[in-house]
Structure 1
Amino acid sequence: MILIYTTFPDLESAKKVVKLLLEKKLIGCANIREHKALYWWEGKIEEDDEIGVIIKTKNEKWEEVKKVIKENHPYSTPLIMKIDVDDVNIEYLKWLDEVVE
């Protein structure tokens, strides 16, 4: 199992991409959270509201999920981060295996 973390400018674009990934059965679940982002962009510090998304899927789906996110993401330079999961309860892994094809 892996987690994939990405961010979006608004809830609508985040939900659009998450629903697409769910419909393609590439992921089992995603958590969507609003937060404040401060970052460097074009030589200055920016501050924006942003939507963070934590995606749960199988390791073997990483490349395909990354591709779908890139193709449908509104940012020109999106963050798409893979986080390896060292340990997780077996019941969750069984569920994830059942819902991700």
Structure 2
Amino acid sequence: MPRVLTVLTTVDSADAADALARGAVAQRLAACAQISSPVTSVYRWKGAVETAQEWQVLFKTTEEGYPRLEAWLTAEHPYDTPEIIAAPVVHGSTGYLEWVSAEVAR
């Protein structure tokens, strides 16, 4: 079974989050995507500490599918330098992991 990853990004609006989530799933780059309520992000950007309200989008994909998802997110994301980070799913129910693998295009 292919290794499953969770991939996180953040955007500045609910509409942008929805567009990324729907686009990635529609193109079979991710089996699903979850959008979290606004979070407050504090970060350093161009020498200044910034605070912004953002929406998190968590994608489920495979390790094999990750390069395509990353390339698509980079192209479609509204930020110049988007946060795109991936973490392996160490354990999960067999049925769910099989579903993710089946839904992500090869």
Give the TM-score normalised by structure 2. Answer: 0.89
1:23 maps to what in 2? 26
Gaps of 5+ in 1: none
What CA distance in whole angstroms lies between the structure 2 residues aligned with 1:30 and 1:20?
10
Shift, 1:82, TM fit: 1.1
Q: Relative to structure 2, which stretch is displaced further, 40-49 or 62-71?
A: 40-49
- The structure 1 segments of at least 4 consecutive aligned residues displaced by more than 6 Å after TM superposition are none
What CA distance in whole angstroms lies between the structure 1 residues aligned with 2:42 and 2:69?
26
1:38 maps to what in 2? 42
Letter in 2 for 1:78: P
Give the TM-score normalised by structure 1. Answer: 0.94
Letter in 1 for 2:35: I
Which among 59, 64, 67 is matched to residue 68 of structure 2? 64
2:80 maps to what in 1? 76
> Normalized per residue, which structure has more helix?
1
Shift, 1:97, TM fit: 2.5
Q: Relative to structure 2, which stretch is displaced further, 66-75 or 39-48?
A: 39-48
What CA distance in whole angstroms lies between the structure 1 residues aligned with 2:101 and 2:50?
40
Encode CA deviations 1:67-97: one digit per residue, 9 max, x unaligned: 0000001101101101111111101012212
Gaps of 5+ in 2: none
> Number of aligned pairs?
101
What CA distance in whole angstroms lies between the structure 1 residues aligned with 2:63 and 2:102?
14
- C-alpha root-mean-square deviation of aligned residues, in Å? 1.0
Query: 3-state DSSP class of the match of 2:78?
Result: coil
What CA distance in whole angstroms lies between the structure 1 residues aligned with 2:57 and 2:26?
17
1:88 maps to what in 2? 92
